[in-house]
Amino acid sequence: MKRTLLFVCALLLVASLAVAGPPNTYQVTGPVLELKDDVIVVQKGKDKWEIARGKATGIFTGGIDTGIFAGSLILGYIGDWFGLNVLFLCAGLSMASTLVLFRFRRSRSTAQPRKVL
């Protein structure tokens, strides 16, 4: 059973590394002025910024939904088979690996928001 658990944890780690896309190097925070299917307009200070939405947004949210569904099934089985201690260990390792991945892959993107004149 320990080999199965290690295999599942290793598979989850490899899958999270393989599926993780390049993150953005910008952060535009502020009130959302306009929300359409293809663009979000955000106000930052006195400036307005357009952030494009496209197929990548749909793929991203679909990936999150799939991960939530698959993760709940996998972690549910781990909790049943091995107990809650192992369940929370796997969940914590998964979150920690995602945090490390996010911090180190953060500076590779070239996408930038457009300033609205």
Radius of gyration of the chain (CA): 19
pLDDT digits (tens, 9 = 90+) for 22-80: 555 556 678 888 888 778 888 888 888 887 777 766 777 777 888 888 888 888 888 89
pTM over 0.75: no
Residue 105 confidence (pLDDT): 64
CA gap 82, 48 in Å, rounded: 52
Of the candidates 60, 53, 25, 45, which has an alpha carbon nearest to the alpha carbon of residue 115? 45
Pairing of strands 32-35, 39-44: antiparallel
CB 86 within 8 A of CB 1: no
Residue 117 confidence (pLDDT): 57
Domain residue spans in the chain? 2-24+55-112
Place of tokens 């925070």: 29
